[in-house]
Structure 1
Amino acid sequence: MNKKIYFNNKFIEFTTDAAQTSQNQIIRFYPEFSEEKLKELLPNLLSESTERLSKNESGYAVPEQFFSLVLDYLKKEFVYIEAAGGLIKKENQFLFIYRFERWDLPKGKLDKGETIEHAAIRECEEECAVKQLKIEQQLSSTFHVYKYKNGFALKQTYWFYMTTDYDKKLKPQTEENITEVKWFNKEEISKTVFENSYFTIKDVVTEAFTEKAI
């Protein structure tokens, strides 16, 4: 799956093959890219970051070789935040949280000096009251820019596929605005979760199911 940096329902997609992009969603493919071009596109991308997410997304595609250029520039210009979370499987079901009227995966910011693995497990435990988590493999990170204080932040979230056999009752962390914790099978994820979730979450789950054969 191609890397993307999201700006709510807009994105920049990085690809090794222009024919392998999210074609029906691409506004334009730029075979060459630079900081100047990024600065030119940012007002349009950031204008979407103040609006509620829609179910439609669109964006620009550039060659994968420019990913570091774009990421380094955004880290320099915006507040950079690191987070970690997990796609948790128990038997044939996967754990999701309901927060701010959308289905999401448990995740949260890294504490100072904390490893990404420890943060991912800690956040899943805190947000869902789930235990006995075992990291099976690391998934691709997601990146998104959002309005933060008087400016914008770039958040990189490190994702892990985890398993558990914990069979006690789960409890949502209400102080983090989580109102529900629920297990879904793959069919339910496609029909229910994907209808009301974030593009980054869809990317994480889709990669896990299609490329990682989870």
Structure 2
Amino acid sequence: MPSILRVLIGDDHRIVREGLKQVLGDLANGEPEIVVVAEAQTGPEVLARVAEHQGPLGLDVVLLDIALPERDGLEVLRALREKWPSLPVLMISTYPERQYAVRCIRLGAAGYLNKSADADQMVAAVRKAAGGGMYLTPSTAEALASVVGRGGPATESLSHREHQVFRLLTMGHTVSEIGAALSLAPNTVSTYRARILEKTGTKNDVELALYAEREGLRR
């Protein structure tokens, strides 16, 4: 592990980025030192900043929010894993572990942290990821064990695009609104919606929202 850990933070809220920089700088006492060398506010900006730093040649860890504008964190994670598979990516979010942790780990994330995690956890997670390990909180480990033990919620069988549509449907967005947000034709969104209803065993948007609430999958 290098003596100085170089981190990129991808989050659209400045106050979050500033808070993370302070946390990582204040608590990185001794070795290794943690330095935030780049920041990004949108999905495309994350990819651009990583490219500027030549992936793992200039960065040791990417801290990546799920709810990024223009291109969400899960899409960015997939792109990073395809182009720079050796670059560790830690996902951070306000969503509970039950909702996204397993999906992130399956997509290749080096860990998943809720933004409410304490400072020691943040530093430990960055160090663990930079060393090639995977940082799992007790809640994330429990979510993974649940998936292995009983197959997890039906949403685990959704494709990435289906999961995007699922999330927006349960937030109350219409087919047209989802199409505009994801740059998809309304009939394509309707096709995804039909698949989601079939996989979750629900009949309409109301039942889907109740399913999401019951499974703890709503924000």
TM range (shorter): under 0.3
Higher helix share: 2
Higher strand share: 1
- For normalisation by structure 1, the TM-score amounts to 0.24
Higher relative contact order, chain-length normalized (CA < 8 Å, sep 6+): 1
